[in-house]
Amino acid sequence: MFSFFKNWFGKDQGELKKELQEEATIDFSELSDIEADVEKGASTAKPAVGNTVHTELSLHPMWEQELDAEKKYTLRFLQAELPDMARGSISVTGFSMIPGPSGLTVTMFFRNSLDHPVRFKNLRMAIFLDDKPFARMKVDLSEMGAIPPHTSRPWEMLFPEESFLHDNFTFKRWKVVMKAGKSTHVWPDLLELDPEMEKRMTERQKDRLESLSHSLPPIPADTVQVTGFDIAMANDGRLVAGMLFRNGMRNMYNPEKIKITITDQDGDVVAKGSVDASTVRVKPGHSRPWIIVFPPNVVKKPNANLRRWVLNVE
């Protein structure tokens, strides 16, 4: 804990101000009961006046006990540089990201503009590098305790290597993001493999699918999206295509039939048809790959340019 201070002392205040990253804000109403609680009977703060809230520093009792006056001043200075918040919102602002042998240690302010204390429980957190997702994980924040109204509480967490979506560390900007359970978009990033398919896959193929399921952007809630991830024309004229079903609904996705159309780089239809999809079963919040094989008599363009291709599923 407190590893971020190792990189700080010796810097002047102008340099410290540059450590603050972009703030990620969500409305508290977007959080589900398993993600956060509000303690409505425990408020001692005066109700906010106007549309914005000015926050003060709030330290966890352990931080209050362990940090000396100089470190507390550093945190108080950084918190003072944060902008006022919109009423009824919570936010997170990163201010230190340190790579290590086990992953990335990130320190951030969790901010509360409500008139009551807020307790975070299980949240989905992510690191974005230049607006692209780099790491994602679910984290239990119950040890952080209740954040008093109109305050910002610093907290430190480790994003382990297994949470990384790729190995590219080249970036100019970074930020920490919270994802709420009631938000309009979801991440179907839990990969599930059919046991028979898994037996035929190499570890490299499994890793590639795992990385794909994590790196794709969120999809609108209550929808299913299908992404093509591999395609090949066999020597006997069959067309084999791999697709990833992503379920953003609250129930199992189990279609009876689907219509599939594949077009090539020139925009020509390579193959199309209605297929039995009764074996496709995708759990809520999960991604599942599926392989479709078009026989030679269905392939309309055997010499298709498949360097770029488009999959359409209805």
- pTM for the full predicted model: 0.59
**Nearest Cα residue to 213 out of 256, 258, 247:** 247
SS3 4: helix
Name the average pLDDT for the chain: 84
Q: How confident is the model at residue 49 (pLDDT cuts 50, 70, 90)?
A: low
Return the closest-CA partner of residue 46 out of 137, 116, 125: 116
DSSP 50: S
Do the Cβ atoms of 288 and 244 come closer than 8 Å? yes
Q: How many CB atoms lie within 10 A of CB 95?
A: 23
- What is residue 282's predicted lDDT score, i.e. its pLDDT? 92
Strand partners, 293: 240
Q: How far apart are CA 96 and CA 169, in angstroms?
A: 15
Residues 152 and 111 sit within 8 Å (Cβ to Cβ)? yes
Tell me the percentage of the chain whose pLDDT exceeds 70: 88
What residues contact residue 138 under an 8 Å CB cut-off, 6+ apart?
122, 123, 124, 125
- Give me the domains of the chain, ranges plus CATH numbers: 3-183 (no CATH), 190-313 (2.60.40)
